[in-house]
Structure 1
Amino acid sequence: MKSADVRSIVLRKHQNEDTPTKIFRDLSWTVLLRTLKRWMKMINNSGSFNLSTPPGPTRTIRTTSIITKVKQRMARKKRTSARKIAKELDISKRSVGRILHQDLAYFPYKMITEPAITDLQKQERAEFAY
């Protein structure tokens, strides 16, 4: 459910004089009880509740501009490491890792080099196995 839908349901149920715990049970843990009580307080004070800003701190590093810069660097013909990208953009390696993993859905892949086995070695291994 979208948050606007949940808020309209909560507003309608509050106008029907349902308690926060009843609304909490009706929504089956979609919204925390503490959040519902805060919303009820906002409705009682102003008649409605408008969430002006999203909760939590604002992003300073993982902004859309930096995400696009990292994406452009990964789209180049010769790819670079996360460490080099972090050094170029002057941000931490961990932030670059988060951008690659969470925002761009890139995952680390390391090529495993194996020694070349000759036909003689394959034959000796088969004989040893028997």
Structure 2
Amino acid sequence: MKSKDIQKVVKTKYGSGDGPTKFFRELAEAVSLPTIKLWIKMINTTGSITLSSPPGCPYKYRYCEDMKISRTSLQRILRKDLGCMPYKKTKQPKLTNLQKARTIKFANWVLNNYRKDGIKKWLFTDERFFSLDGIYNSQNDLVWAVSREEADRKGGFHEKTKYPGKVMVWLGACAEGLTTSVILENGTMDAEVHINEVLPIALECGDRMLGSDWSYQQDGARPHPHRLTQE
């Protein structure tokens, strides 16, 4: 039920003498009780439910208004004359200037000191947290049905806890494939966990996939440059 329809129902029921609490229950909490009371106050004051709208035209038309041209003309200029296409913003790590400089320095060092065959002997590793609630993509996780009610019956929900648990997973990758994953169920990884649980798996998988001559490549997370790890 759309907001306008709910407003009409509230206005009709209020005219028949029903109270706001009864509206709230009969509408199955489709709208909050304070909102219903606000609408009733509007009815008593103006005789109707009048909601304020943001000033000015919709955001997508403001460029046209500022440039004094029509929306279709602006689209034609962008797409046909300039050859532009709309692209969504992509996510990327937020790096400091120091981190960017170090990354460039490392990349130049690799280019100047290694050939392609040498890099194939590198085992790249990383770890990250995964939520126990799973990953939900509103664009791809769909349920085909003829109605919302049928979709709900087919499991059209993605339940999410208020404070979901997390688990850390370590994984390595190289030119020959992926290592065995290491699931760290006890939380974050420190130097001791890295040495006792991760490095044995990395050594076993590295020797199996790359032979006896290979390099263990890791990022700058705290357990990696730790003194015990380096030893």
Query: Who wins on radius of gyration, i.e. which is larger?
Result: 2
Higher strand share: 2
Question: Which structure has more RCO (C-alpha within 8 Å, separation ≥ 6)?
Answer: 2
TM-score, normalised via structure 2 length: 0.31
Greater helix share, structure number? 1
TM-score, normalisation: structure 1: 0.49
